[in-house]
Structure 1
Amino acid sequence: MDLRNIAIIAHVDHGKTTLVDELLKQSGTYRENQATTERAMDSNDIERERGITILAKATSVEWHGTRVNIVDTPGHADFGGEVERILSMVDGVCLLVDAAEGPMPQTKFVLAKALGLGLKPIVVLNKVDKPDAEPDRALNEVFDLFANLGASDEQLDFPTVYASGRSGWADLELDGPRKDLSALFDLIVRHVEPPKQIAHRDEPFSMLATTLGSDPFIGRLLTGRVQTGTLKAGDTLKALSRDGDRIEQFRVSKILAFRGLSQQPIDVAEAGDIVSVAGMTKATVADTLCALEIENAIPAQPIDPPTISVTFGINDSPLAGKDGTKVQSRVIRERLMKEAESNVAIKIEDTPGGESFIVSGRGELQMGVLIENMRREGFELSISRPRVIFREEDGQRMEPIEEVTIDVDEEFSGAVIEKLTGPRKGDLVEMRAAGAGKTRIIAHVPSRGLIGYQGEFMTDTRGTGVLNRIFHDWVPYKGPIQGRRQGVLISMENGTTVAFALWNLEDRGKLFLGAQEQVYEGMIIGEHSRDNDLEVNPLKGKKLTNMRASGSDEAVRLTTPTRMSLEESIAYIDDDELVEVTPKIVRLRKLHLDPHERKRQSRAS
């Protein structure tokens, strides 16, 4: 059967996974009476909850005698390690762009990777049926982006499709019939070249592993595109590391190919196809699986280095061990090493004491997803504030800066620019009207300045702003950047909070918890209205006398507490604070407090 391998790349929420749903339906992958789910490729619970793609996943459809392997890629730069590996498996890309928003930061990120590999893109202007869609403007911006990224003349001569993934149609003209996706299918078959590997089917077998998975019945699975030769179940292979060192020799127990949403066993894998191989015990991502006579490993695509690090440690608070089942440092280390094996964008280091581990990655979202997965598996952890990774170049300290693209209502643009270019030491690159009363702001801001900014940004724009960020470059260190301005309210007692005590504390600042909740000494229960930390007693009840009863006064009415999500908590804490994460709850706590400061605060309160 004729073969095509293509990846769908786009910014977050531009409609990749929804378009793949329609491609599967219209290619006849589903039975007529088969129950289907929306965004079928987002199989992970967190992907479904957040509406984002985290893991790259492959599927295949048949169109008029041609099998099309389609890879759905993450749109967020934090998961760019997935994109970089996956693009080496395909021969073309569909670049999906929202006709209203135009190219966004993550569009630029994934497109730069695709153009660097010499892939020829097809541009799909999606959501052209939206009321605020401007397909001509979006197309001009896409062309300018191609030119800025150094696209070749052949890549600049890209075909364009106008589509609505949700409605299930795509046309070569904006005023086309709008019936189905046949125009997109035909263009993929016509524009994307068949795999060059097909010409090497007579050579010894070799394959570069790009993703790692597991099956409860057949064990470890490595997925990749067959570079040369053919493979049958039962063949003996060896695994080579990136450096060409021999890792292991193994017998192939099963070969699986993507057929629709499932993987099915096949007898023979041929050069050019994307398959999963089972039978190995040690080989992992970026290793080469090959015939015994091959000596050299296939070069693996380099992965961009991590930009932030977070310290994972055991939960040693007074309330530790009440919710989770996995609390030992040994178990936490095993889980982190397992994650680093399948996710090449993450690096793990042991600290000298062995009780905590430094996890380096691409961004706060990537760390947040890893922590969320671990807490759902029953882990209890303590998490430090994210720290930016610096590096030395010619004796000069360099730090990462990010390109921030913001869409806000015009009335809030002044406050946003003031925050970014003032205390956060960013540089304004561009500011222009984006239509519908919106302003688009593009700035280069140090990564340090963006840690914890998301919550402040949503407050400044009253929840209407949209912020996207992507790694831009390394620049000389810009000097100290002020962290959180407000102090915190810290519990000085162990026990259960009392409504009367919290009611009296409301004048001191905003609270993070309500009545009848467990607290302990050192736990952060709120944000102080001033810039210093304050120890308070949230357990202090009303004094009762024979002149009044506890219920005779007016009932205490508490303000609804501010509940922070996991990501918000990690971004909120300061360097001397930790986030305590359990399967049921997220708490904040102070690491230590100077005795003199404690006395001074006690007198003040």
Structure 2
Amino acid sequence: MDLRNIAIIAHVDHGKTTLVDELLRQSGAFREGQAVAERAMDSNDLERERGITILAKCTSVEWKGTRINIVDTPGHADFGGEVERILSMVDGVCLLVDAAEGPMPQTKFVTSKALALGLRPIVVLNKVDKPDAEPDRALDEVFDLFAALDANEDQLDFPHLYASGRSGWADEDLDGPRKDLSALFRLIVNHVPRPRQQGRVDEDFTMLATTLSADPFLGRILTGRVETGRLKTGATVKALSRMGQPIEQFRVSKIQAFRGLGQQPIEEAVAGDIVSISGMSKGTVSDTIAALAVDEALPAQPIDPPTISVTFGINDSPLAGRDGKKVQSRVIRERLMREAEQNVAIRVSDTPGGEAFEVAGRGELQMGVLIENMRREGFELSISRPVVLTREIDGVRHEPIEEVTIDVDDGYSGAVIEKITGPRRGEMTEMRPAGAGKTRIVALVPSRGLIGYHGEFLTDTRGTGVLNRVFHGWAPWKGAIPGRRAGVLISMEPGQSVAYALWNLEERGRLFIGAQEDVYQGMIIGEHSRDNDLEVNPLKGKKLTNIRASGKDDAVVLTTPTRFSLEEAIAYINDDELVEVTPSAIRLRKRYLDPHERKRQARAAE
């Protein structure tokens, strides 16, 4: 069968997964009357809740005798480790751009990877039926973006379509019939080249593993594109590392191809096919699966280095072990190692003592998703504040810089610019009106300056601002960046909080807990209104006497406490504080060091 392999690229919430739903529906992948969930490709619970694609997933549709393998790529740069490998499997990309917002930072990140690989893009201007859509402006911005990313002449001469993924139509003209997606199917078949591998069917079998998954019955499953030759079920092959060193020999127990939303077993895979194979025990992502006669590994895409690290430790608070079942450091280490094996953008290393683990990754969102998945699996953890990783370049200390794109109402732009270019050491590179009373600000800001800024940004913009960020590069160390100015309120007693005590503490600052909640000594229960930490007693009840009062007591009415999300809590804490994460609670606490560690830090400071 005629074959095409294509990846769909888009910024977060530009409608990529919704468009794939319509491609599946109109190609006949679903039977008539079949109940299919909205955003069918977002199979992960977290993806559905947050409305973002975290894991790259493959699907396959048939259109007039052509099989089209479609790869849904993550839209966020924190999950870029997936993107870089996935693009090596395809021969073309479909770039989806919101006609109102235009190309955004995550679009730029993934598109730069695709253009560097020489892939010719198709541009789809989505949501052109929105009242604030400006498709012509968005198209000009896409061309400018390609030119800025050093696209060649073939890539700059890209075809484009106007579409509405939710309504299920795409047309070559803005005033087209708006009936279905046949124009997009036609363009994919005519513009995306056939896999070049199809002419190398008679060579020895090779395949580059791009994603790893697990099945309770099949064990490890590696997915990738067959580069050369054929592979039959039951054949004996070997796995080679990126350096060409042999890892293991194994018998292929099953070959599966993507058909619609599911996978079907097939007897033989040929060059150009995207398939999943099982049977290996050690082979992993970026390894080459090859016939026994092959000694040379396929080139694997280099992965951008991690930019932040977080320390994962056991939960050693007085409330440890009440919620979760997985609390031992050994179990936490096994889970983190398993994650690092599947996700090449994450690095895990042991800390001295072996009770905690240093996890390095791309960004706060990637760390937040990992921690959220672990707490749902029953883990209890203590998490440190993210630390930015630095590197030495020509003897000079460099730190990661991020490109920040902000859309904000005109009235709030001054406050945003002051915060970014002042204490957070950013440099503004562009500022222009974005229409509808909004201003677009583009700035280069150290990653350190963005830790904990998002909550402050929402406060400054009254919740109306939109902030997007993407890794830009490395630059010399920018100097000190002030952290959180306010101190915290720390519980001095263990027990259950009392409404009367919290009512009296409200004048000291904002609270993070309500009445009748478990607290312990050292737990952070609120933010102090001043810059110093304050120990308080949230258990102190009202003194009762046997003297009757002339009037009845005033009812205690508490202000609704501030509740942090996981990412907000991690960004809020200081270096001497921890986030306690359990399946049902997120708490903040002070990190109390043992005497030996305190002496060691004091000597280091001297």
TM class by smaller structure? over 0.9
In the superposition, the TM-score normalised over structure 1's length comes to 0.97
Which residue identity does 1:361 align to in structure 2?
G
1:179 aligns with 2:179: yes
Q: CA deviation at 1:461?
A: 0.4
Q: Measure the CA separation in 2 of the matches of 1:358 and 1:527.
A: 28
**1:542-568 Cα distance to aligned partner (Å, 9 max, x none):** 011111489941110000101111110
Distance in 2 (CA, whole Å) between partners of 1:552 and 1:391 is 66
Distance 2:190 2:96 in 1: 18
Query: Aligned partners of 2:500 and 2:594: how far apart in 1?
Result: 28
* Residue aligned with 1:43, SS: coil
Q: Partner of 1:500 in structure 2?
A: 500
User: Counterpart of 1:59?
Assistant: 59
What is the match of residue 603 of structure 2? none
Aligned to 1:430, the other structure's residue is in SS state: strand
Report matched runs for 1:344-355 at 5 Å.
344-355=344-355
Residue 331 of structure 2 corresponds to 331
**1:581 Cα shift?**
0.2
Contact 1:346 1:359 in 2 (8 A): yes
Deviations 1:96-128 (A, max 9, x none): 000000000001000000000000000000000
Measure how far apart 1:219 and its partner are.
1.4
Amino acid at match of 1:210: T
- Which residue does the alignment assign to 1:191? 191
Partner of residue 533, structure 1: 533
Structure 1 position 394, deviation (Å):
1.0
Give SS of 1:467's match. Answer: strand
Q: How does 1:421-440 map to 2 (within 5 A)?
A: 421-440=421-440
Q: Does 1:447 align with 2:435?
A: no
Partner Cα distance (1:590, 1:405) in 2? 34
> Which residue pairs with 1:160 in the alignment?
160
Q: Which amino acid aligns with 2:193?
A: E
Letter in 2 for 1:531: D
Structure 2 regions of 5+ residues with no counterpart? Answer: 596-606
Report 1:468-479 matches (<5 A).
Answer: 468-479=468-479
Take 1:498 and 1:34, find their aligned partners in 2: how far apart are those partners? 53
Aligned-partner Cα distance in 2 for 1:547–1:331: 58
Residue 296 of structure 1 aligns with an amino acid whose one-letter code is E
* Aligned AA (2:214): S
1:207 aligned onto 2:216: no
Decide whether the 8 Å contact of 1:162 with 1:170 is kept in 2: yes
1:277 aligns with 2:241: no
Counterpart residue type for residue 243 of structure 2 = D
1:342 corresponds in structure 2 to 342
- The code of the aligned residue for 2:394 comes to D
- Matched residue SS, 2:545: coil
Separation in 2, partners of 1:550, 1:154: 88
Q: Which residue of 2 aligns with 1:44?
A: 44
Cα–Cα, structure 1 residues 250 and 413, in superposed 2: closer, same or farther, change >3 Å? Answer: same
Mapped to 2, the partners of 1:25 and 1:215 lie a distance apart of 27
In 2: Cα distance, 1:504 partner to 1:96 partner = 54
1:513 and 2:518 matched: no
The code of the aligned residue for 1:84 comes to E
Which residue number corresponds to residue 232 of structure 1? 232
Provide the residue aligned with 1:23 in structure 2.
Answer: 23
In the TM superposition, 1:405-424 aligns within 5 A as 405-424=405-424
Q: 1:170 to 1:524 in 2, by over 3 A?
A: same
What count of residue pairs does the alignment treat as equivalent?
A: 595
**Higher mean displacement: 553-562 or 211-220:** 211-220
Deviation at 1:527, TM superposition (A): 0.5
**TM-superposed deviation, 1:220:** 1.0
What is the SS of the residue equivalent to 1:561? coil
Deviations 1:149-172 (A, max 9, x none): 000000000000100000000001
Distance 1:174 1:473 in 2: 38
CA RMSD between the two structures: 1.2
Percent identity over the alignment is 80
| Whole-angstrom CA distance in 2 between matches of 1:174 and 1:230 | 44
Question: In structure 2, what is the Cα distance between the partners aligned to 1:337 and 1:473?
Answer: 28
Give the SS at the match of 2:365: helix
Match of 1:256 in 2: 256
The one-letter code of the counterpart of 1:273 is: D
Q: Which residue in 1 is equivalent to 2:604?
A: none
**Aligned-pair CA distance for 1:593:** 8.8
Contact 1:91 1:192 in 2 (8 A): yes
Letter in 1 for 2:375: R
Which AA in structure 2 matches 1:532? N
Q: What whole-Å deviation, never above 9, does each CA across 1:3-43 have from its counterpart, x for those lacking one? A: 00000001100011000000000000000021111000000
Counterpart in the other structure of 2:600: none
**In the alignment, which residue of structure 2 is the partner of 1:292?**
292
Instruction: Report what 2:602 is aligned to.
Output: none
TM-score (norm 2): 0.97
The Cα offsets for residues 174-200 of structure 1, whole Å up to 9 and x where unpaired, read as 111000000000000000000000010
Distance 1:44 1:190 in 2: 33
The answer for the alignment partner of 1:81 in structure 2 is: 81
Q: Which residue of 2 aligns with 1:319?
A: 319
Q: 1:371 matched to which residue of 2?
A: 371
Q: 1:64 to 1:501 in 2, by over 3 A?
A: same
Opposite residue 121 of structure 2, the aligned amino acid is P
Per-residue deviation, residues 243-272 of structure 1 (Å, max 9, x unmatched): 111110000000000000000000110000
Once the two structures are superposed, the pairs formed by residues 89-168 of structure 1 within 5 Å of their partners are 89-168=89-168
Deviation at 1:594, TM superposition (A): 12
Partner Cα separation in structure 2 for residue 46 and residue 361 of structure 1: 19
* Residue 565 (structure 1) aligns with: 565
Query: Counterparts of 2:214 and 2:439 in 1: how far apart (Å)?
Result: 46
**Cα separation, 1, equivalents of 2:303 and 2:56:** 15
Q: Is the 8 A contact 1:237 1:249 kept in 2?
A: yes
Q: Secondary structure at the match of 2:419?
A: helix
**Distance in 2 separating the partners of 1:75 and 1:591:** 36
Instruction: Tell me the distance in 2 between the aligned counterparts of 1:594 and 1:113.
Output: 47
Alignment check: 8 A CA contact 1:544 1:550 kept? no
**Structure 1 counterpart SS, 2:174:** coil
Please give the alpha-carbon distance, in whole angstroms, between the structure 1 residues aligned to 2:305 and 2:354: 24
Deviations 1:73-97 (A, max 9, x none): 0000000000000000000000000
Look up the SS of the partner of 1:309 in the other structure. Answer: strand
The alignment partner of 1:398 has SS state of strand
Match of 1:246 in 2: 246
Counterpart amino acid of residue 443 in structure 1: A
How far the C-alpha of 1:216 sits from its partner, in A, is 2.0
* Superposed CA offset, 1:363-415 (max 9, x none): 00000000000000000000000000000011100001110000000000000
d(CA) in 1 for partners of 2:463, 2:14? 20
Aligned to 1:523: 523
| Amino acid paired to 2:149 | L
**CA distance in structure 2 between the partners assigned to 1:179 and 1:393 by the alignment:** 56
Conserved 8 A contact 1:542-1:550: no
Unaligned 5+ segments in structure 1 are 596-605
> What pairs with 1:582-597 in structure 2 (closer than 5 Å)?
582-592=582-592
